[in-house]
């Protein structure tokens, strides 16, 4: 393999890993409470 191909493969793996972790982080964030559909308080009172 040429060094250019190895570099491209390594960069592709890094991009895929970053995309995986960002997707996991975004899906892991949850809103407090149940989303507001059940009538419960959201926790913040103004």
pLDDT at residue 17 in the model: 98
In angstroms, rounded to a whole number, what is the distance separating the alpha carbons of residues 35 and 39? 9
Quote the pLDDT of residue 41. Answer: 62
Vertex 9 angle, CA 6 and 10, to 5°: 85
Listed by start position, the domains of the chain span 1-26
pLDDT of residue 26: 87
- What integer pLDDT is reported at residue 14 of this predicted model? 98
Report mean pLDDT in 10-residue bins for the chain, 46 residues. 95 98 86 62 57
Instruction: Look at residues 26, 43, 21 and name the one whose alpha carbon lies nearest to residue 34.
Output: 43
């Amino acid at each position: 393999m040429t060094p250019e191909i190895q570099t491209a493969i390594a960069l592709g793996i890094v991009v895929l890993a970053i995309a995986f972790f960002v997707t996991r982080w975004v899906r892991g964030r949850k809103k407090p409470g149940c989303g507001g559909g059940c009538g419960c308080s959201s926790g913040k009172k103004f």
